[in-house]
């Protein structure tokens, strides 16, 4: 049986001046927050980030041992670089980058007119270009460690005709192909992988009308018979961050939804 992870408070006893550093974009709530907590529980120092929810991000960072919060919108190249520069200025190193920041706007797939060019630009600008800009800014520092790791957060919508909108699904497909291309380009110094969650209950989905019927279908038809939790995704992120002989992979964390 696998031992339960330490709490961040317990892990504080294992934080050392040479402990690894992880930057988790979009980590003030939901999946990003769960990732930050899980990494901190392993004795990893964490840079918490959000574009707008400053108070929530500061609260997450304050709850973790030797963590900092940096406000930055990674869809803006200058801010993405500022985020990485702030991590290096504070810690002097960067070992893990988790590209979690993203946006989704529910639009029925058949409503083509509602998927406006402005919506496409918003979603691709953050989900794809933001991921790229942060990765490019972080890459020299990740490579310097000799064992750097990038974990991108994709979605089951990146490989199936699903998702909250067509622009969102396309953005996740792009992230998955970017993951493979980068893995081939930056090895052996840095590994690049992705996690593709299925339906996960987060603050963004809770209480939303569209979520209820989808969640019911997941509970009735998938092999594990439940909706995902942010902690499920966080566990997979940690596993890929530490998987020294794995790169260019997209790990589905969907309770078996891809089997139906």
- pLDDT tens-place string over residues 171-206: 999 999 999 999 999 999 999 999 999 988 887 777
What's the Cα-to-Cα distance from 234 to each of 45, 203, 207, rounded to whole Å? 15, 16, 22
Reading the block at residue 148, the tokens are 């750097």
Q: Domain segments of the chain: what residues?
A: 8-200+230-259
Say yes or no to pLDDT of 5 above 60.
Answer: yes
Question: Among all residues, which ones are annotated catalytic?
Answer: 168
What is the largest distance, in Å, between two alpha-carbon atoms of the chain? 55
For residue 112, pLDDT over 70 is answered with: yes
Residue 215, pLDDT above cutoff 90: no
Confidence (pLDDT) at 3: 52
> pLDDT, tens digit, for every residue of 11-59?
655 677 789 999 999 999 999 999 999 999 999 999 999 999 999 999 9
pLDDT band at 230 (very low <50, low <70, confident <90, very high): very high
DSSP state of 126: I
Q: d(Cα 235, Cα 39) in Å, to the nearest integer?
A: 9
CATH number for the segment(s) 8-200+230-259: 3.40.50.720
74 against 218, higher pLDDT:
74
How high is the mean pLDDT of the chain?
Answer: 92
């Amino acid at each position: 049986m696998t031992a339960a992870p330490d709490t961040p408070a317990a892990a504080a006893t294992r934080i050392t001046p040479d402990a690894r550093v992880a930057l988790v974009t979009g980590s003030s709530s939901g999946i990003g927050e769960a990732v930050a907590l899980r990494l901190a529980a392993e004795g990893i120092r964490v840079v918490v980030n959000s574009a707008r929810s400053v108070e929530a991000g500061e609260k997450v960072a304050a709850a973790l041992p030797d963590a900092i919060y940096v406000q930055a919108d990674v869809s803006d190249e200058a801010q993405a670089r500022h985020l990485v520069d702030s991590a290096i200025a504070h810690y002097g190193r960067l070992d893990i980058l988790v590209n979690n920041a993203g946006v989704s706007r529910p639009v029925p797939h058949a409503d083509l007119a509602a998927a406006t060019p402005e919506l496409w630009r918003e979603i691709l600008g953050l989900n794809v270009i933001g991921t790229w800009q942060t990765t490019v800014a972080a890459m020299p520092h990740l490579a310097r460690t000799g064992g750097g790791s990038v974990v991108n957060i994709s979605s089951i919508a990146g490989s199936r005709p699903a998702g909250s909108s067509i622009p969102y699904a396309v953005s996740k497909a792009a992230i998955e192909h970017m993951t493979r291309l980068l893995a081939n380009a930056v090895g052996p110094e840095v590994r690049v992988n992705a996690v593709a969650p299925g339906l996960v209950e987060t603050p963004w989905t809770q209480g939303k009308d569209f979520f209820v019927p989808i969640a019911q279908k997941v509970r009735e038809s998938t092999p594990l018979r439940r909706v995902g939790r942010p902690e499920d995704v966080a566990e997979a992120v940690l596993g890929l961050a530490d998987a020294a002989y794995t790169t260019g992979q997209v790990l589905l964390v969907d309770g078996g939804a891809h089997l139906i």
